[in-house]
Amino acid sequence: MPAEIDLQDVHLKFRVRQANRLSLKEYLVRGLFRSSANPVMDVHALRGVTLHVTEGERLGIIGHNGAGKSTLLKVIAGVYAPTSGHRRVTGRVCSLFDIMIGFEMEASGWDNIRFRGYLQGETPRTIREKIDDIAAFSELGRFLDMPLKYYSSGMLVRLAFSIASATEPEVLLIDEALGAGDKNFRAKARERMAGLMQSARLMVLISHDLKAISELCTSVVWMQQGQIRMCGAPAAVIEEYGEAMTARSPVGAV
């Protein structure tokens, strides 16, 4: 079955509390004698997004901070369920979002390779085949025997990227995970990313690096306030976006 992403009129709405805590006092007082000290904020993060990405395409998503790019990617990944509309994604999805989260800090590097591997759908047999390559790519050596809480941030990035990129995705979703680690490691990481992008049947990439977007993507979507403002060939969309960037633009989609 060909890899495909199909979103039809997708809306995503959610409510957040400003301090994001609801205590017993708050629960009892709300709606009684006085207005809440912790009001709810309605967020309409995606407004009627329709998108169709077919096999072989490499879609870039650009836009201001808070435009809904990461939210859209998480809806595609299945992390957020649409409030309304239709979502269908066909193919094995690999998400490279915030690769630094989801570590077990008390466990060793070797254990975390296994945990993250299993989270990405690997089995003990497939992890056994890959674990040495992952360890070699990270260049962490005997540090892999130590708990992650003793790692520097650079070491965590090396480990995270090594694990996350040791996969064979059909649908590859990347949220600004191109920059990783120190200068030496970054060159290796770019090469690995290029290989991943080549092997994936379909890719969606979020980045503020417009040069990378224009080089890597076959089409580009410009998100603004939860909606698709423009969709088309990379050169045309990036040019329009560049001109609009000089204008003042509100952040977020509330």
Asked if 124 touches other proteins (CB under 8 A), the answer is yes
Q: Which is nearer to other proteins, 4 or 241 (CB)?
A: 4
Considering the complex, state which of residue 21 and residue 211 has its C-beta at the smaller distance from other proteins: 21
Q: How far is the CB of 4 from other proteins (least distance, A)?
A: 17
Stretch that binds other proteins, among 120-128, 181-189, 222-230, 234-242 (CB under 8 A): 120-128
Supply the minimum distance, in Å, between the C-beta of residue 5 and other proteins: 14
Q: Is 28 left (phi over 0), alpha (psi -120 to 50) or beta?
A: alpha
Classify each residue of 18-38 as buried b or exposed e, where b means 16 or more C-beta atoms within 10 Å of its C-beta.
eeeeeeeeeeeeeeeeeeeee
CA-nearest of 30, 13, 149 to 83 is 13
Residue 39 sits in the site that holds other proteins (CB under 8 A): no
Alpha carbon distances (Å) from 104 to 116, 135, 162:
10, 17, 16
Whole-angstrom distance, CA of residue 215 vs CA of residue 234: 9
Question: Considering the rule CB under 8 A, would residue 87 count as an interface residue with other proteins?
Answer: no
CB-nearer residue toward other proteins: 45 or 140: 45
The amino acid that residue 99 corresponds to is I
DSSP 55: T
Stretch that binds other proteins, among 96-104, 178-186, 197-205, 212-220 (CB under 8 A): 96-104
Tell me how far, at minimum, the Cβ of 2 lies from other proteins, in Å: 21
Closest by alpha carbon to 236, among 220, 216, 251? Answer: 220
Per CB under 8 A, residues contacting other proteins are 14-16, 20-24, 27, 77-81, 95, 97-98, 101-104, 106-107, 111, 114-115, 118-119, 121-124
